[in-house]
Amino acid sequence: MASIDFPLSSRPGLSDAEGGGRLINAFVEKLGDGARAPVSRRRVPGLARFADTGLTGPRAFRHVGSLVYGAYRDALVRITEDGAVTNLGPLPGSKRVTIARNNRAPIPDAVAVTEYGAYTLSTGGAPMPLALPGDLPAPNSVAELFGFLFFTAGNGKCFASKVNQLTFSTLDTTTEQARPGGLLRAIAFRDELFLFGPSGIGVYGGPAQETGFPLARVTGIPRGLVGPWAVSGHEEGWSNELIWVGDDKVVYRLNGYSPVRISNHDVERDLAAAAKVDPESIEASAHLVAGHACWVVSMPGRTWVFDLTTEQWHERASHQATRWRASQSVNAFGRWLVGDTASTGLLEVREDAFDEDGAPLRLRIESLPSAAFPSRIAIPRADFDFVLGTGRLTPKSTIRDPQILISWSDDGGRTWSNPLRRALGRQGESRTRVNVLRTGMSGPQGRQWRIEVSDPVYVALLGGAQAVDLRTE
């Protein structure tokens, strides 16, 4: 029997006929020596509810001390390790927010920058407008480094607070002007300050200076940022890899001070389409689960995930949506937490969750075409190698007989057959066979297979094989 080739990375192609297989809510993990397959294609980690904020429109999260600040539409909440949520009061606005803190002891100062200006945050009351000298520009982002708070502005200026204070001097300012366009975002990474503009990045570092702007310019990177929210990887607890969507709609990973392209053409086409409508709709985040460091970029209609562990891309899509429902992420309390665009929940990314806060998490894997162009092939039988016997009956699950759906396309992925339902096996039933018989003859474009599983059980596809009868007529 001939092997059915499943992709390592999702490649839908510009047209159906050019696709190289898809992984939607599925990712690849390399298996050890001696395993019966080199890789396993598994369902992505699901989402479990950690807390209910009672609010919609997540804007930002930041772990500060023993709590998480959560910015939502027109509100700020405090979240503690036990999942308790306290509404601290209004934080005007609905757009994304940046939150930074200094190192003041015993309680650090925390500041948020919104579309309406900067606010100081406290654990026991409503956010208050931050008083800035009148000759400083209105900030559009904030980051912290070495106890300083650094604010960027659209005119290209960056100004700093005094160390571990919320006081300012107009002398503690610099202007990043190597490239035009002003500044979009400040990111602290690798003990350096990266000032992102729409056409370039200024890097600042070195020992803190006592007078003037605290840091010295180290170098410039001739690659900008497509939108203010399209950068991630600097988060505490992640993999120390800064990744962003450049002004050319290409995803870059920082290598030293050089941007290295990691996106493929499918990712770049989606980014270009989103940027054409609204660059601020492109948002990046990161999370780490089961040893997989995942960098996520979401936009209207699509979510792409780059797995740094395997250096492969896969797609995520939530129930009745074409993109992932998660927005923003924070590493807190030994968990990776994300905001939810579909409910009022604060959710945790978990390997042992097989749904998304109770909603189905549909795995879809589409194979590469099996073709002998221009000949057609008859396929009397196809077998699929799954981890079997995953049905379970627990207080949280009544999926005793999990099912998979198998369909196929003989015209390059334009149309698909009605799916056939097959059992994955009850708990402990490892002798179940997953196969389909007498599925007819392909077109000259060959045969593609589609695997789908919605039942909330562990799913892992190890491979497949098909009997092939070449027809020349």
**Using CA atoms, how far apart are residues 98 and 119, in angstroms rounded to an integer?**
11
Query: Which residues in 256-342 belong to E strands, given as ranges?
Result: 258-261, 283-289, 292-299, 302-307, 312-315, 326-332, 335-340
For residues 187-195, average pLDDT: 97
70: tokens are: 């959560």
Contacts 24+ apart (CB under 8 A), 426-429: 426/389, 426/391, 426/400, 426/401, 427/389, 427/390, 427/391, 427/392, 427/393, 427/400, 428/389, 429/388, 429/389, 429/391
How would residue 394 be classed by pLDDT, with cut points 50, 70 and 90? low
Give the separation between CA 257 and CA 435, rounded to whole angstroms. Answer: 51
pLDDT (tens digit per residue) in 109-121: 999 999 999 999 9
Q: Residue 149 belongs to what H/E stretch?
A: strand 148-153
Please report the pLDDT score of residue 400 as a whole number: 78
Neighbours of 234 (CB within 10 A): 19
Average per-residue pLDDT in the chain? 93
The residue assigned the tokens 């800035």 is 132
| CA nearest to 295, candidates 27, 7, 67 | 27
What percent of the chain clears pLDDT 70, i.e. is strictly above it?
96
What are 132's two structure tokens? 């800035």
pLDDT of residue 398: 59
Which pLDDT score, from 0 to 100, does residue 132 have?
Answer: 93
pLDDT at 339: 98
Confidence band, pLDDT 50/70/90 cuts, at residue 378: confident
Taking 3-state DSSP, the helix, strand and coil percentages for the chain, each rounded to the nearest 5, stand at 5, 50, 50
Give the domains, in start order, of the chain with CATH numbers.
2-44+363-471 (2.60.120.260), 47-358 (2.130.10.10)
Segment 151-179 shows an average pLDDT of 94
Where residue 1 falls among pLDDT bands split at 50, 70, 90? confident
- Looking at residue 372, its pLDDT comes to 63
Residue 193 pLDDT exceeds 70: yes
The pTM score is 0.95
Q: What are the pLDDT digits (tens) for 48-90?
A: 999 999 999 999 999 999 999 999 999 999 999 999 999 999 9
pLDDT at position 232 over 70? yes
Mean pLDDT of 365-383: 84
Read off the pLDDT of each residue in 221-244 and give the average, rounded to a whole number. Answer: 95
Query: What pLDDT, on the 0 to 100 scale, is given for residue 365?
Result: 98
pLDDT value for 366: 97
Mean pLDDT of 443-447: 83
Both tokens assigned to 335: 């968990």
- For 276, phi and psi rounded to 5 degrees? -65, -35
Which tens digit of pLDDT belongs to each residue from 340-363?
A: 999 999 999 999 999 999 999 999
| Rounded CA separation 457/352 (Å) | 9
CA 40 to chain centre: 21
How large is the average pLDDT for residues 290-302? 96
Output the six-digit token pair for 3.
């092997």
Q: What is the pLDDT of residues 16-59, one digit of tens each?
A: 878 899 999 999 999 988 888 999 999 999 999 999 999 999 99
H or E stretch including 408? Answer: strand 403-409
